[in-house]
Structure 1
Amino acid sequence: MIWQFALRYFRARKSTSAINIIAWVSVVAIAVGTAALITVLSVFNGFTGLVKSLYSSFYPTLKVVPATGKTILLTAAQLKEIAAVPGVAHLSQSIEEKAVLRYGEDQTIAVLKGVDDQFMKVAGVQDKIVRGDFDLGAENGYRAVLGIGIETALGVDVEHSLVPVNVYMPKRDAGISFNAAMPEQSLNSGVIYPSGTFAIQQEFDSKYVLADIRFLRNLMNLRPGEVSSLEISLQPDASEKRVKRKIQALLGDAVKVQTRVEQNATIYNVMQTEKWVVYVFLSFILVIAAFNMIGSLSMLVIEKQKDITILKAMGSRDSLIQRIFLGEGLIIAGAGSVLGFTIAIAICLVQQHFGLIKLGGGSFLIDAFPVEMHWQDFVLVSVTILVIGVLASWYPASRAAKQVITLKAT
């Protein structure tokens, strides 16, 4: 009965057309706020997905790093145990260290990352090669793949030049035995032959050079099994959290097992914070719509005084009257949310298929705003509308319930 009354009051023509107009203004305002929220949140999801896809080309699904210090020592038995963990697909050992690279008269500082032959199975850098080949072989000298920013800084021609790049790296005990008069004695040096160039994004392109792990191990005088990290890829149906817990239990507190999000915690936290800030600000559109709802319902209560009096005379409790007008408010909020969801889905689908709204500048990896709709956003916005609808309807509904019966004698 409650919803029958509420629907009748919503659809019926009012004695004053302003009541109908304000009610539909409330519906439209809620629809606009809902559509804006879903669309903007979907754009943030699109950018987050784009960043994750870029980072997945370089960072593994799981990464084992030392809890303190720069290196960890992994025995063959430990590697075998990790490989046997259900869900683990491939393991790749790596060594990272900063180095000075010199090519002719040009030089720059880069992070030299030594990887083994399993690296291509835990990352996707080989799919981002823009010049040359992904070749880290050591048959005629160690070869290396440069980020496009490093290639530009050194002026290297990876496809035609046979001139090696000189690598200089501090010795591990250089801080103790540093000789200011002859600083070269505190450096280890070697040469690498550029074979290819990768382009992922600036953070990687201007920072990393990939080389054979044996080159780094010899240059840094590391022991067998001593690495900077162990990179792990998982099987498609594996649980990232479960595998992480098992590997952490195997290796103990001397190491940290990081997911891809934890490896890039700063960028992901910033993106999530921005998304929540936008959600809060756009929710004010719904709050403004709530004021329209309060006005509309308050005027409806005044118009329906006679109906309220009759219902109370027939024995209706105050709670029933209150629920009727609460239902009226929820109908307005529900109609607006359905309309808003429909508009948002249409906008997102059009953007996904046709990319009508372009990114400016022309220097991005994509030319249009990316969009991904997530069901969690629809749930969040629905709950937000429900809460705002109930709060906005509460005062007019309470006022209607407290209305005093005034029966006139004839």
Structure 2
Amino acid sequence: MTPSTTHTTTAPARDVRALLPGQWDAFYATVLDAFHESEPAEATALWRRLAEPERCVVVRDGAQLVAAAGIFTFRMSVPGGHLVPTAGVSMVGVRPTHRRRGILADLMRHQLESLQRQGEPLAVLTASEAPIHERFGYGAAARRLSLDIQSRRVSLRTPAATGERTDEITLTLEDPYEALEITEELYARQVPARPGMLARAPGWEHLPLLDPPAARAGARPLECVVARIDGRPVGYARYAVTIAWSAANTAEGTVRVRDIEATDPRAYAALWRFLLETDLTSRVVAPNRPVDDALLHLVSDVRRCAPTVLDSLYVRVVDAPIALTARGYAAPLDVVLDLDDAQAPWNRGRWRLTGDASGAVCARTYDAPDLSLDACALGSAYLGGTTLTELAAAGRVREHTPGALATATTAFASPTAPWLPHGFCRSLLPRL
């Protein structure tokens, strides 16, 4: 048992209670009211199937539910390729009539203490309002790249074949549901290679296919194209097309990319070429791509892609020694971290972290600190997409031992940028 599991915590907030059987509809209505939203029945039905009512909590005012919070059980890829148990915090909301009363703080504290008792080392969320969640120790750990491409103004380079292989890449249009086994296998192969990706448990494979007619905003139904080399699937793209015409009767349609994955560089380029050359369109929109997307190095003019970087996944280190031991490190590391964590006193104090690419050990120590940081900074750095050096430049990390910051920055780095391919909030794709 680690030191972090032997402490005594403060009592959970008195007003936070488990969701009672049969109250899911009331729970979800509370969430939608909190965000002033409505949604098609197809979306609500999917979230009902994915929900874990036993992990949902509520706050009541008399008989009325006035606040709600839920958790999805995930495994998330971390640097080193390991899949770590992770709580997906979602459906957190307070009705407008009960805001500014500290209810959100009660919900988040209750969740955090429950996660620690249950042994989940990490929690993640996507934020409707970014500043809120830093109060609870969540740090921005992964970003997303949003692209708005003038497809008639760019061309695409073709990567060279590796070795002596010259196999032809074939593309076929397939029904998104009939191709689901293929696309899920390709997605699963990508997960260990990129921190932040979620291993999809049964049922979650339907989330990227969610396509209610009422939410299409004039677009055609979701389509899927599969790339093959020598008959073997190596990539796919799911997208929807909206056709529009200018005043001069010129086709100005838009291709909106839901997701695109490939295990071969040539297949990836071929899929993008297919999307960029779609007839009757002049624009390709991809709202959620990794910030190190290879497309940026394939297009002839990146300025015509209007790349914009936005925050995406927020990480909360629930149990510091377990979380820090669970990931790999890009270089040998032996550092004492002085961690400040106001919401999780079991994390507070000094930890000696020793590790490399093969594994790590993290234990309590009374040695002098090499670096000091707070829970938000640790969450931001955990997946390797935000460097300790840039956090230090913002005053979020302090170096006490010369050279420790550079060494730790190198060790914490990830060769691929962390990325969350799809959200797990209560609302429709493709919001994220």
Higher RCO structure (Cα 8 Å, ≥6 apart) = 1
Establish whether TM, by shorter chain, passes 0.5: no
In proportion to residue count, which structure has more strand? Answer: 2
Larger radius of gyration between Structure 1 and Structure 2: 1
In proportion to residue count, which structure has more helix? Answer: 1
Task: Name the TM tier (shorter chain).
Answer: under 0.3
TM-score by length of 1: 0.24
TM-score by length of 2: 0.23
